[in-house]
Amino acid sequence: MSMKTVFITGADRGVGFALSRIFAENGWRVFAGKFLDYWKELDELKKQFPETVELIPLNVGSTQSVQEAAKTVSQKTDTVDVLVNCAGISRGEGEEAFRQIVNVNAVGAMRMVEAFLPLMQKGEKRLCFVSSEAGSITVAHRKGEAPYYPMSKSALNMAVKLMFNELRPKGYSFRLYHPGWVNSYMGGDVKSTRGKYEPEQAAMPAFKQFTGHRDWEDALVMTDVENQAWPF
């Protein structure tokens, strides 16, 4: 039986890195999107799994970078079974802040899907997106000024729905995942300590959902670490 292949964006640290490790430990060939040159966790993972982990330079906010990543991967394999879109940012600057955030969190996932579709035709055809409860309009509990990060996650959820409408009839299946409040690096290079979960705790249920079967693939539902469903 041939080894299955996954591409993971935002793999430098946090949930993306934890997912990269879990996929590698479970015998997958892992293409890990590396954005931060100075962050060395992925290099350590590569040393641990030299034959099956490949580090691919990637900025999902750049069309050229995504296209170069797809080209690089296509020279190493003809099939990507699972694409995990995990890259995200929480802040931008000034009047351009929302455009910067949505360009990574939502448009970045679209860049990846459309660039990697040719490599996914023969595989498992599983598209996974790390979203957030912050994008749930029903549940939104924040107050005050326009919350750009949550708004970008609502935009992501909508973009995923449009892609789902097009690609589900073509055999693709989707996972939309809320990882919970994770001790992540969304605020920068210092890991948060206020979250409910460590990245590994959010990544293990994600791995199970991203690789598992559902009898209801024709419904797009956002699920969390407990596999509980969240409304849009």
Partner 1 sequence: MSKKVAFIASIQEQDAWETAQQLNKAGYQVYGAYTDGASHEAGEKEGISLLSIDLADRASAQSAAKAVEEKEGALDILVLESAHHLEDKPVGSGRDYEELAKAVDLGTVGMERILTAFLPLMKKSEGKRIAFLSRTSAGIGFCEDKDDFAWHMAQAAIHNMLKVSFNELRPEGFTFRNFVTDGPKGGMSAADYILQDFSYLPEDDYIHSDENRLVRRDSLFRELSW
Q: Which residues bind partner 1 (CB under 8 A)?
A: 63, 95-96, 98-99, 102-103, 106-107, 110-111, 113-115, 117, 135-138, 140-144, 146-147, 150-159, 161-163, 165-167, 231-232
Name the minimum Å distance from CB 188 to partner 1: 22
Query: 13 vs 111, which CB is nearer to partner 1?
Result: 111
Strand partners, 173: 126
| Type of residue at 118 | P
Name the nearest CA neighbour of 185 among 7, 11, 8: 11
Between strands 53-57 and 173-178, the pairing is: unpaired
Query: 3 vs 158, which CB is nearer to partner 1?
Result: 158
Query: 170 vs 213, which CB is nearer to partner 1?
Result: 170
Name the minimum Å distance from CB 210 to partner 1: 20
**Both tokens assigned to 178:** 């809320």
Q: How far apart are the first and last CA of the chain?
A: 39
Query: 51 vs 95, which CB is nearer to partner 1?
Result: 95
Name the minimum Å distance from CB 159 to partner 1: 5
Q: Which residues 6+ apart lie within 8 Å of 122 measured at CB?
A: 78, 79
Report whether 108 contacts 60 (CB < 8 A): yes
Name the minimum Å distance from CB 138 to partner 1: 5
Name the minimum Å distance from CB 166 to partner 1: 4
Query: 157 vs 201, which CB is nearer to partner 1?
Result: 157
Distance CA 134, CA 132 (A): 5
Query: 168 vs 191, which CB is nearer to partner 1?
Result: 168
Name the nearest CA neighbour of 133 among 153, 152, 158: 153
Distance CA 52, CA 15 (A): 19
Name the minimum Å distance from CB 109 to partner 1: 11
Burial class, 162, CB count within 10 angstroms (exposed 0-12 / middle 13-18 / buried 19+): exposed
